[in-house]
């Protein structure tokens, strides 16, 4: 989960794109061999710490077998409305948040690309 934004109305988000491990909208979603969908970081950690079984059906799953989700699901997740907690801007789309942070957000601290050469 990104710590620089919050969802505008998380209670109204359909339960389908919610990770059953972290209980938040899917982030970098992936599908298991048993056709369940989780955040990639959540299921990877789960597999590594819980003997490699699916948290829902208990089928053995492997990290190497995780697959990307359909583009339609990713598009739906990218359209979720969020609020930047750094600058307070609302009604941003989650899929555009990286652009907001890198190019628009007035409160985001950025490292000078010339810092390595001691640029004043």
Domains and CATH numbers, the chain: 5-117 (3.30.40.10)
Whole-prediction pTM value? 0.80
Beta-carbon contacts of residue 32 (< 8 Å; ≥ 6 apart):
38, 43, 54, 59, 61, 65, 66
pLDDT in single tens digits along all 120 residues of the chain? 578 899 988 888 888 899 999 999 999 999 999 999 999 999 999 999 988 899 999 999 999 999 999 999 999 999 999 999 999 999 899 999 999 988 888 887 777 777 778 776
| Burial degree of 3 (CB within 10 A; 0-12, 13-18, 19+) | exposed
């Amino acid at each position: 989960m990104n710590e620089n934004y919050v969802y505008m109305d998380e209670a109204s988000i359909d339960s389908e794109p919610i990770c059953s491990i972290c209980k938040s909208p899917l982030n970098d979603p992936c599908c298991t061999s048993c056709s369940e969908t989780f955040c990639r970081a959540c299921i990877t950690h789960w597999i590594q710490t819980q003997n490699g079984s699916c948290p829902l059906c208990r089928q053995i799953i492997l990290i190497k077998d995780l697959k990307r989700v359909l583009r339609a699901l990713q598009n739906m997740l990218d359209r979720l409305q969020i609020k930047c907690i750094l600058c307070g801007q609302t009604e941003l789309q989650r899929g555009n948040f990286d652009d907001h942070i890198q190019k628009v957000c007035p409160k985001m601290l950025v490292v000078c690309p010339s810092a390595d050469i001691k640029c004043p």
